Structure 1
């Protein structure tokens, strides 16, 4: 690993809080990191407590892409596991907690950090960041010297090391649906599916549609390596930007006061239109968040520098794995261990249920199929087959007839096509520290050892 001079510079924040120090570090491109360390005395008066809230607010308002704030805040009344406190609104701990929530700060210390004999252990030393994935692997070590505070070490991640994905995917939102509809309309479905069972009919239908889709739906690699960092601009904003560039070139050619004033007007107009365009774009995302949550989270991810991913996993033997295939095997081992194994003996006898009328037949009509198709969400992903919800919605009128034939055959035979029984199951890494369960369970004995070590050193 090569050493690099960070060129840290002292940062001044003019809030008259008792003890705090700040520095800034230039990162890649124009990104900057703000680091602050704060000490709040447990005997701090109300005026100083309010200044602490102003201090945090001022720091987060500054134009830094990354913010890291550490320190001893001495708020034993706050439970950081669920971000709650039992004190009243007049208590300084309540105001501090509400401020961290309003600033959307992430707090990464969950275990107690101060141990003293005869006193309750508390979580007083905290680590705040403005992005969730910036800090991981927080480790509690015995305190320095006779200190009753534990020593915290952690990893600071400023950028994501994401591998570039080259998986080809069909872009169903740019498909040539006019040609797809034309080919579907010209197909004689009764002749194609005649004499076939439900399974064979579905295979023939899916094969025919897949050929049409391959011809009329474009393929893209996606934009995994360079996600967009800004909202798309509307037509007016783009025109104002072009006008600003023209005015700048004119001023460069002839540096007169008149040309400079024209450039300033064009620049301000472009800036204003960009802000308005961004506002409308974000407003539209917020209004359609229930219908299209993917767009919302895609925009959120484009604004974050760090992203949490599945890190090293620990198996049942205590061995850690970092390779993707090995981690998948660890997941598989765990999921298999928690599945309930049914006994081989006879199943229990169930009480016969009474019913008033028997369901003798199921009537399938084109109208019912159409209603079911209209309920599909075009923004959802497709399953293992090629039938994306966008494709089905766009060609619903043409697909109703073959679907009706296949569904009726399925009901008559009492079977389902094998493709309908297949699904993609993806384990999702939930919020929290990697190996959180194993880490907390293994660290319980470590923390007890630290507590004893701290107590003995005090003696």
Structure 2
């Protein structure tokens, strides 16, 4: 039987003419949530990430995820990380939100949409930090100096063909890990 996520709420914030709508989601994922409910949540996230602008926040209860290295110890956390990556979402909180762990997250599909993120201490008897942030629209667009690729518009058939033409055995022969990575990265970016 297909479980539904226990606690999530999704709203559409109507934008001004030409500005587009924002999909905002709030989610609580219990630490003992089953695989069926996780899969249903991932389907919801996938559908919402196709919107022009998404802000998803909540307590996802994956303390073993290292967002800096994009790694996780447990299978459920790796599946969540895979969902985040497959939907090209950015996680914008940088500091732990509960007892040294980063359980509370803000995910977005548009760089510069979320800004001014601050942890504001706990409220009442909660052991989670309050997270304050702004959703930035036309008034202040953050400009990133990082170049990012838009994989949503990619021709993966051509991409696979271009990378398949490279004689990898010869290109990487006798190279160390760092040199091999730089060669692979160069061919990847060129393709």
Residue in structure 2 matched with residue 138 of structure 1 by the alignment: 117
> Which is richer in strand?
2
Q: 1:18 aligns with which of 2, 6, 9?
A: 6
1:95 CA drift (Å) = 0.6
CA contact under 8 A between 2:90 and 2:111: conserved in structure 1?
A: yes
Q: Which runs of 4+ in 1 moved over 2 A?
A: 307-310
When the two chains are superposed, the root-mean-square deviation of aligned CA atoms in Å is 1.8
1:160 CA drift (Å) = 5.4
The correspondence of residues 169-318 of structure 1 with structure 2, limited to 5 A, is: 307-309=141-143
3-state SS of paired residue (1:133): coil
3-state SS of paired residue (1:85): coil
CA contact under 8 A between 2:4 and 2:36: conserved in structure 1?
A: no
CA contact under 8 A between 2:114 and 2:136: conserved in structure 1?
A: yes
The whole-number CA distance in structure 2 between the counterparts of 1:22 and 1:49 is 16
Q: 1:95 aligns with which of 65, 73, 79?
A: 79
The whole-number CA distance in structure 2 between the counterparts of 1:308 and 1:84 is 27
Residue in structure 2 matched with residue 129 of structure 1 by the alignment: 108
- What residue ranges of structure 2 are gaps of 5+ in the alignment? 145-191
CA contact under 8 A between 1:66 and 1:158: conserved in structure 2?
A: no
The whole-number CA distance in structure 2 between the counterparts of 1:128 and 1:86 is 20
TM-score by length of 2: 0.68
1:209-266 superposed Cα distances (whole Å, 9 cap, x missing partner): xxxxxxxxxxxxxxxxxxxxxxxxxxxxxxxxxxxxxxxxxxxxxxxxxxxxxxxxxx
TM-score by length of 1: 0.30
1:59 CA drift (Å) = 1.6
CA contact under 8 A between 1:17 and 1:55: conserved in structure 2?
A: no
Residue in structure 2 matched with residue 79 of structure 1 by the alignment: 66
1:50 aligns with 2:29: no
3-state SS of paired residue (1:139): strand
Residue in structure 2 matched with residue 401 of structure 1 by the alignment: none
The whole-number CA distance in structure 1 between the counterparts of 2:34 and 2:142 is 38
1:47 CA drift (Å) = 1.4
- What residue ranges of structure 1 are gaps of 5+ in the alignment? 1-14, 116-120, 162-306, 311-459
3-state SS of paired residue (1:58): helix
1:127-162 superposed Cα distances (whole Å, 9 cap, x missing partner): 01111111122111111111110001012112254x
The whole-number CA distance in structure 2 between the counterparts of 1:158 and 1:65 is 12
Residue in structure 2 matched with residue 35 of structure 1 by the alignment: 24
Residue in structure 2 matched with residue 150 of structure 1 by the alignment: 129
1:39 CA drift (Å) = 0.5
CA contact under 8 A between 2:120 and 2:129: conserved in structure 1?
A: yes
1:412-449 superposed Cα distances (whole Å, 9 cap, x missing partner): xxxxxxxxxxxxxxxxxxxxxxxxxxxxxxxxxxxxxx
The whole-number CA distance in structure 1 between the counterparts of 2:17 and 2:45 is 26
CA contact under 8 A between 2:59 and 2:103: conserved in structure 1?
A: yes
1:13-67 superposed Cα distances (whole Å, 9 cap, x missing partner): xx82211111111112251111110000001112112222112112223xx3211
The whole-number CA distance in structure 2 between the counterparts of 1:126 and 1:98 is 15
> Which is richer in helix?
1
1:67 aligns with 2:46: no
The whole-number CA distance in structure 1 between the counterparts of 2:69 and 2:88 is 15
The whole-number CA distance in structure 1 between the counterparts of 2:139 and 2:68 is 26
